[in-house]
């Protein structure tokens, strides 16, 4: 039997995250949106301490939260969905700036060794994949990694790296041998300040302005030999190559539902503010009758709520599958595509519904609309998600369906 209710421990996490977002993030959202490139956000320290004290870190939360209940787990991924959605409703950019919740942490949690999780799990870890000539095609990474004695030497350039400036460390995708294709792509932990790591620039952006997005240059960047995530061996058979790259890509199966949750959060926040304004103007939704028998504005709000609920359930399903060891690449892509598109539509429509009030900086709705656009793009664009779903449904490889 399907149970669509969240268990009590997840509800408790949701309530605590909501309180943290409303107490710490929402009041300073506009301030840091305007500051954009602040070196640090001291107001986040109490929230970071609360999060790390409550759940340990991304690498160990699955163990702490994943006790079996009748053979079913609701662990790190499920917890992440509900807490991310609540935090993003406070301010998605500030949420991404909280120490210890970087995208690199998800990679370490997914494929890191126990020693790597212990060493890096509590640090703020960014992720560097995208390159000037390699956007959505992750298998075309050109940054190289060569083993030199007890060190890996990295050379290449990365762009659009979230938390690349503020992160304690950066998980970098690089190839051991360009001629071997995607089988030779591995990920490496590069500590901030490593010899040969250079910050080229920090981007000015439309949304998520306080969350730093950096361009990085690796010039003979030396890192310890043990800082590779996974095996340094290059698979020698087609099946083994698929499995090896699949391990690297597993990170996305965990993080795409989290990004979907970001879209849920900003859309929920925009809708809630819209309801507050409408109520002050004497417009209250009845939630009764069909969309054909209510005013047009009410009908549209009903439809947006339906899309948002569909996105939420898809995201929870993808997270539940990950927690329970079930392959979820298709489901992760579906929820990211649905939530990303829905979040973008809902926030922009709320701006339009509120008119000049929505377009002005008097409310945060225009900020949520700006934030929502990149959520639909990063971690794989709408088109890439649809391609992943098509490949899975048709049983075709990336080589057969491009």
Q: Distance of CA 89 to CAs 271, 316, 328, 347, Å?
A: 10, 17, 26, 12
Determine what percent of the chain falls in helix, strand and coil, rounding each to the nearest 5: 55, 15, 30
Report the alpha-carbon distance of residue 258 to residue 230 in Å, rounded.
Answer: 23
Record the tokens describing residue 168, joined without a space.
Answer: 């304690």
Residues 96, 101, 143, CA angle at the centre, nearest 5°? 85
Q: Distance of CA 382 to CAs 81, 259, 260, 332, 339, Å?
A: 20, 12, 12, 12, 10
Helix (H) or strand (E) holding 191: strand 185-191
379 classed as catalytic: yes
Q: Where are the beta strands (DSSP E) in 52-180?
A: 125-128, 144-148, 151-162, 169-175
Q: Distance of CA 4 to CAs 7, 195, 312, 316, Å?
A: 9, 50, 11, 9
Q: Choose, from 86, 157, 366, 379, the residue flagged as catalytic.
A: 379
Q: β-strands 125-128, 169-175: how paired?
A: parallel
For the chain, count helices (H), then strands (E): 13, 8
Q: How many CB atoms lie within 10 A of CB 336?
A: 33
DSSP state, 72? B
Burial label for 69, CB within 10 Å (0-12, 13-18, 19+), is: exposed
DSSP state, 22? I
Helix (H) or strand (E) holding 202: strand 197-202
Report the alpha-carbon distance of residue 101 to residue 35 in Å, rounded.
Answer: 21
Cβ atoms of 270 and 347 within 8 Å: the answer is yes
List, by residue number, the catalytic residues. 379
């Amino acid at each position: 039997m399907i149970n669509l209710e969240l268990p009590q421990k997840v509800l408790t996490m949701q309530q605590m995250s909501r309180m943290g977002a409303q107490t710490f993030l929402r009041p300073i959202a506009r301030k840091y949106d305007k500051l954009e490139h602040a070196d640090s956000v001291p107001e986040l320290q109490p929230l970071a301490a609360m999060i790390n004290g409550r759940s340990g870190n991304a690498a160990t939360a699955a163990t702490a939260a994943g006790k079996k209940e009748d053979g079913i787990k609701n662990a790190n991924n499920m917890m992440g969905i509900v807490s991310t959605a609540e935090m993003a409703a406070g301010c998605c950019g500030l949420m991404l700036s909280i120490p210890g919740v970087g995208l690199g942490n998800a990679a370490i949690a997914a494929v890191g060794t126990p020693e790597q999780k212990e060493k890096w799990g509590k640090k703020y870890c960014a992720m560097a994949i995208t390159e000037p000539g390699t956007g959505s095609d992750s298998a075309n990474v050109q940054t190289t990694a060569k083993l030199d004695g007890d060190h890996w030497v990295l050379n290449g350039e990365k762009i659009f790296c979230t938390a690349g400036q503020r992160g304690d460390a950066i998980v970098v995708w690089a190839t051991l041998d360009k001629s071997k294709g995607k089988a030779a792509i591995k990920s490496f932990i590069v500590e901030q300040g490593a010899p040969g790591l250079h910050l080229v620039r920090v981007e000015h952006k439309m949304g998520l302005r306080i969350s730093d997005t950096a361009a990085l240059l690796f010039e003979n960047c030396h890192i310890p030999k043990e800082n590779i995530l996974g095996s340094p061996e290059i698979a020698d058979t087609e099946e083994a190559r698929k499995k090896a790259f699949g391990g690297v890509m597993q990170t996305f199966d965990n993080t795409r539902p989290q990004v979907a949750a970001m879209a849920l959060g900003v859309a929920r926040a925009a809708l809630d503010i819209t309801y507050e304004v409408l109520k002050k103007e004497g417009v209250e939704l009845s939630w009764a009758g069909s969309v054909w028998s209510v005013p047009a504005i009410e009908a549209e709000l009903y439809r947006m709520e339906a899309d948002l609920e569909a996105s939420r359930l898809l995201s929870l399903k993808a997270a539940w599958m990950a927690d329970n060891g079930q392959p979820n690449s298709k489901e992760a892509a579906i929820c990211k595509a649905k939530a990303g598109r829905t979040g973008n539509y809902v926030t922009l429509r709320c701006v339009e519904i509120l008119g000049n009030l929505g377009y002005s900086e008097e409310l945060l709705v225009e900020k949520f609309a700006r934030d929502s656009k990149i959520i639909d793009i990063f971690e794989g664009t709408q088109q890439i998600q649809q391609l992943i779903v098509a490949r899975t449904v048709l049983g075709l490889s990336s080589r057969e369906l491009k």
